[in-house]
Amino acid sequence: MTLRQNLDTKIIYNAVYNLIETANTNLPSWVYNKLSNFNCDYKDKILKNAHLAQKNKRPLCQDTGQVLVYLEIGQDIFLEGENVESIINKAIADCYKEKFYRKSTVKDVLYDRSNKGDNTPGLIHINIVGGAEISILVGIKGGGAENMTTLKMLNPTTELSEILDFAKECAINAGENACPPMCIGIGAGGCAETAAFLAKKALFVGKTVDFDIKNVFETRILTAPTHIACLPVCVNISCHSLRSTSAKIINGEIQYTKGFEKYSDVEIVSNAREIRTDDISALTNLKNGEEILLSGKIITARDAAHKRLAQMIDDNETLPLSLENKIIFYAGPCPASNGEIIGPVGPTTSKRMDKYAPLLYKRGVLATIGKGDRTINGLNKLYFKANGGIACVLQACIKACTPICFEDLGTEGIYELTVEKLPLKTVWL
């Protein structure tokens, strides 16, 4: 017979805080090893990024996302102290502030999209199980890959091979927006919301499916019972920085799961030519697909800043900066830690800015920098693709950072960056 154990929820705070830091700054060994053997154009940058993040204890990606907490509590444990969800959210808020991680949660999806400033609430799932142990799984999920989630209600006679074809279609549609190589999570069963829940959890603990999809290094699945008339299937995608770790609390002690190695530095070799941002002639004569190393001054601006600029133009207001010959980097960096010029930084999904791009190009913007393909063409304007998911590598290319305007938007404000040899690929829109 198991004796009831009294446990202060402060221990859950400590575990979640440490798990968040570990997940944000360490690539799991199995992921690193898979990527080491994966055929990818910028594999050296991915592996170097893992080394830098671990060495400097800084985030693998600037999008330190939403925190997922899967908590299993043994029914023979009596929890004392602060409410479990409250103390988990306190751990999230404290860790994101003290470790200089990016806060990405807005107050309301529709009515107040101002940043909450503490990255709460976490996405917390609590399950009561037998025994006197607590199991905690923490995952970090960024917005770019999350936006590629797809739910489909299939015919109940659908075969596994057809489900995998659906997953392949989702991976192809995600493309560079999900920072490949990707991990695919498939959830099948229950009802619609069950399938979505299972798909995300499958990324971390699902059963591996042997299925070869280009730009996908792992496919995992979780299933559940369902109605005789239903076969709900959801596909959730993670970038190559599949960030998660776990722990157990047994007899009042935290036992952290091992699964991380010490990663060596990786040399990045590039034959791309260096071009300065003030060399307008060289920039406008670039060939489609040409790789460059960009040096000079650029500015950051992403979703909220674009919306504000567009509104000011529509209202005939004077803009707080000139856009003439500016290069806009679609980026929202992590806050700078002590001694840093800027925190880890990388591109966000470019197509979200497509409705604003023609207007800003017309106002004099020379080029834009972001991630993935776009929905606009025929503009005869410059766009540069930057590799996603290598925030620590790109951080090293930033030599100065000065706020320009919209500082109230936090990470979405407009900043001037001095860059040195920023690796990019040319696309003519």
Residues annotated as part of the active site: 306
d(CA 245, CA 50): 15
d(CA 366, CA 282): 12
Phi and psi, residue 94, nearest 5° = -65, -45
CA atoms within 13 A on the CB side of 22: 22
Query: ω before 121 within 30° of 0 (cis)?
Result: yes
Is the Cβ–Cβ distance between 186 and 206 less than 8 Å? yes
d(CA 406, CA 310): 13
Is the Cβ–Cβ distance between 330 and 302 less than 8 Å? yes
d(CA 50, CA 307): 34
Token pair 């040899």 is at which residue?
A: 421
Phi and psi, residue 156, nearest 5° = -60, -15
Indicate the helix (H) or strand (E) that contains 60.
none
And the tokens for 17? 């805080």
What letter represents residue 165's amino acid?
D
d(CA 369, CA 215): 22
The shares of helix, strand and coil residues in the chain, as percent rounded to the nearest 5, are 30, 30, 40
Phi and psi, residue 421, nearest 5° = 55, 50
Beta-sheet pairing, 216-226 with 182-190:
parallel
Where does residue 209 rank: exposed (0-12), middle (13-18), buried (19+ CB within 10 A)? middle
